């Protein structure tokens, strides 16, 4: 008992001493405690560890976890460290969008590539006759049409085939003069040289007159041999072709130089196309061309550019370009419409992006560069030549950089109007919500009247829209993402959010069936 009492007394003394020491170290009332947290400074060579915030869904869905896990497809959740969180503000000159919003918008990226920018210039044209193969038959003297051998427009004729016969008093007189002169030359063989020379000059002048009137050599020889004049003269086709114009009528009077027939050789034709001003610098003589005619949709006619006209049509801002085509079978008819394809090869490899990557405001051209984790940088670019699917970037983008090619118009609106963040939802990662700014999106409820999956549009009978001061009405909306079609069924009552992509075009960005929990809101701090 005495030993136990001694131990108890010893413990009491020790506790009293410890308590006195604690009271002595405790600050007195009214004395401010000067204590501050001490940051742990890593020693040289020690690597600073990043703080793990949470794990996010690998598919960009609004789902996070404080511990590692897998999604229903067996994919591991992705760790998010301090400095990588969606609610961290973006660096200067960049835009930060939450990963689930990127998923909802349907953002898609492609790499800028070096490529030879081959393209095809397309133009409309028409088939025309080859002007070098068109012939007019016009007598050079006054007379009358005595007889027609070809009396139908469009009739094919062979070279040398008789077209018509004419009678002319002048022609008969000229023939008689030549016949008399020719006989006089023959009769004055034995006469003096002066007489022979005078008669010979008269015969030569009469012969020249007949030749100037296109009298054939055969008729002249027959006239000189027999001395008998012919009452009529036959005009023949100078080329094998088609009679495209016939003005001659039986018994009509004609004047010198009046065109009575036109014959065209259609074995080769021209196609004259109107090429726009901005493309004319790419066209060269000798370039290949493909021509398609509506009448023969399965046929492609190939030719070459023979001439680029030096004039510009001020009304249409186009330059005519001529292509020569062979016309076997006379399939190509003058005045037919034609569609031309003029391949233009690139001279060298240049940096290119898809056409859809460029946002053109009229005063500037912008391309959104993706830096990963929902970060986008809008860059001003200077553009060059275009192809069907790509466009040359002269300045602003380097090969290999990822650029946004889908939903970039919504991201651009995001970069100009930060309040648009409230138009789409994402999961709250546990941070305290900040005050939401005014949204540029609009929200209401409505009933699905119809859905067009191909056009990605929906017809809604919606309630009034207070933010736009709209009354209740039925109208069509575009869908920002085809995935939204899954929640739209005819007759369903929905709550939806939408924005104006461009004047008069309204795009739905979020849909919820009425009666379910509202979507999580996006705040400016996230």
Highest mean pLDDT among 321-325, 352-356, 361-365, 430-434: 321-325
DSSP 281: G
Of the listed ranges 260-269, 299-308, 509-518, the one predicted with least confidence: 509-518
Of the listed ranges 33-47, 180-194, 442-456, the one predicted with least confidence: 33-47
What is the average pLDDT value for the chain, to the nearest integer?
77
Would the pLDDT of 421 be above 70? no
- Tokens 């006054």 -> residue: 142
- Cα(135)–Cα(245) distance, integer angstroms: 10
**Helix (H/G/I), strand (E/B), else coil: 447:** strand
- Cα(509)–Cα(519) distance, integer angstroms: 12
| pLDDT value of residue 425 | 39
Q: What confidence tens digit (pLDDT) does each residue in 390-405 have? A: 888 998 888 889 898 8
As beta bridge partners, residue 351 has: 114
The full length of the chain comes to: 526
Q: What confidence tens digit (pLDDT) does each residue in 307-340 have? A: 999 999 999 999 999 999 999 889 999 999 999 9
CA distances from 119 to 287, 304, 348, 393 (A): 13, 17, 13, 15
pLDDT bracket for residue 58 (50, 70, 90): low
What is the CA 384 to chain-centroid distance, rounded? 14
Would the pLDDT of 25 be above 60? no
Q: What confidence tens digit (pLDDT) does each residue in 184-222 have? A: 777 777 666 777 777 778 878 878 888 888 777 777 777
Closest CA to 178 of 140, 141, 215, 220: 220
Number of H helices, E strands in the chain: 6, 32
- Cα(292)–Cα(271) distance, integer angstroms: 11
The answer to whether 415 and 378 have CB atoms below 8 angstroms apart is yes
Q: Which residue has the higher pLDDT, 44 or 113?
A: 113
Q: Which domains does the chain have, with CATH numbers?
A: 49-85 (no CATH), 108-118+348-406 (2.40.420.20), 126-130+265-344 (2.40.30.170), 139-258 (no CATH), 426-513 (2.40.50.320)
Q: State what percent of residues in the chain have pLDDT above 70.
A: 76
Would the pLDDT of 75 be above 60? yes
Would the pLDDT of 130 be above 90? yes
CA distances from 267 to 193, 240, 251, 322, 467 (A): 55, 9, 33, 17, 69
Q: State what percent of residues in the chain have pLDDT above 90.
A: 29
Angle between helix 169-187 and 193-212 (nearest 10): 150
Residue 402, burial from CB neighbour count under 10 angstroms (0-12, 13-18, 19+) = middle
Two tokens at 182? 């020719």
Would the pLDDT of 480 be above 60? yes
| pLDDT value of residue 346 | 61
Would the pLDDT of 6 be above 80? no
Q: Please give the backbone phi and psi of residue 388, each rounded to the nearest 5 degrees, phi first.
A: -65, -40
425-447 mean pLDDT: 55
Neighbours of 469 (CB within 10 A): 7
Q: What confidence tens digit (pLDDT) does each residue in 306-316 have? A: 999 999 999 99
Two tokens at 368? 């959104």
Would the pLDDT of 227 be above 70? no
| pLDDT value of residue 304 | 92
251-278 mean pLDDT: 93
What is the CA 525 to chain-centroid distance, rounded? 40
337-344 and 318-326 strand pairing:
unpaired
Q: Please give the backbone phi and psi of residue 38, each rounded to the nearest 5 degrees, phi first.
A: -105, 120
Q: Which residue has the higher pLDDT, 50 or 467?
A: 467
Q: Which residue has the higher pLDDT, 448 or 38?
A: 448
| pLDDT value of residue 28 | 41
């Amino acid at each position: 008992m005495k030993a136990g009492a001694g131990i108890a007394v010893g413990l009491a003394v020790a506790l009293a001493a410890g308590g006195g020491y604690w009271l002595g170290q405790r600050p007195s009332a009214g004395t401010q405690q000067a204590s501050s947290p001490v940051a742990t400074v890593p020693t040289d060579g020690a690597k600073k560890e990043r703080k793990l915030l949470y794990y996010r869904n690998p598919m960009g869905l609004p789902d996070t976890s404080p511990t590692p896990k897998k999604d229903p497809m067996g994919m591991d959740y992705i760790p998010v460290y301090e400095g990588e969180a969606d609610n961290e503000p973006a660096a200067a000159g960049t835009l930060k969008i939450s990963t689930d919003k990127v998923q909802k918008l349907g953002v898609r990226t492609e790499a800028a590539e070096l490529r030879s920018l081959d393209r095809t210039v397309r133009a409309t044209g028409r088939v025309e006759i080859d002007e070098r193969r068109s012939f007019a038959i016009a007598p050079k003297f006054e007379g009358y049409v005595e007889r027609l051998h070809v009396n139908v427009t469009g009739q094919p004729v062979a070279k040398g085939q008789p077209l018509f016969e004419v009678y002319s008093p002048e022609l008969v007189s000229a023939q008689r003069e030549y016949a008399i002169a020719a006989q006089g030359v023959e009769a004055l063989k034995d006469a003096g040289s002066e007489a022979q020379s005078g008669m010979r000059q008269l015969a030569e002048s009469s012969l020249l007159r007949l030749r100037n009137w296109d009298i054939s050599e055969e008729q002249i020889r027959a006239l000189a041999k027999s001395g008998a004049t012919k009452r009529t003269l036959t005009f023949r086709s100078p080329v094998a072709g088609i009679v495209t114009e016939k003005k001659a009528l039986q018994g009509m009077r004609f004047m010198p130089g009046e065109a009575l027939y036109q014959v065209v050789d259609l074995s080769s034709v021209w196609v004259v196309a109107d090429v726009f001003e901005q493309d004319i610098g790419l066209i060269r003589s000798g370039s290949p061309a493909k021509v398609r005619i509506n009448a023969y949709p399965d046929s492609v006619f190939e030719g070459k550019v023979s001439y680029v006209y030096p004039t510009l049509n001020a009304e249409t801002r186009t330059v005519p370009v001529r292509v020569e085509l062979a016309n076997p079978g006379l399939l190509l008819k003058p005045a037919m419409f034609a569609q031309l394809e003029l391949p233009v090869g690139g001279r060298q490899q240049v940096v290119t992006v898809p056409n859809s990557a460029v946002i053109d405001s009229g005063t500037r051209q912008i391309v959104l560069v993706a830096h990963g984790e929902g970060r986008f940088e809008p860059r001003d670019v200077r553009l060059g030549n275009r192809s069907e699917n790509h466009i040359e970037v002269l300045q602003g983008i380097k090969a290999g950089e990822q650029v946004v090619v889908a939903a970039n118009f919504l991201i651009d609106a995001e970069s100009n109007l930060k309040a648009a963040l409230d138009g789409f939802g994402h999961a709250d990662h546990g941070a305290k919500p900040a005050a939401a700014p005014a949204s540029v999106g609009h929200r209401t409820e409505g009933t699905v009247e119809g859905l067009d999956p191909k056009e990605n549009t929906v017809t809604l009978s919606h309630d009034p829209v207070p933010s736009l001061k709209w009354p209740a009405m039925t109208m069509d909306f575009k869908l920002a993402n085809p995935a939204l079609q899954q929640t739209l069924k005819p007759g369903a009552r929905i709550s939806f959010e939408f924005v104006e992509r461009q004047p008069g075009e309204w795009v739905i960005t979020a849909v919820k069936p009425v009666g379910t929990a509202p979507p999580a809101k996006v705040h400016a701090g996230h």
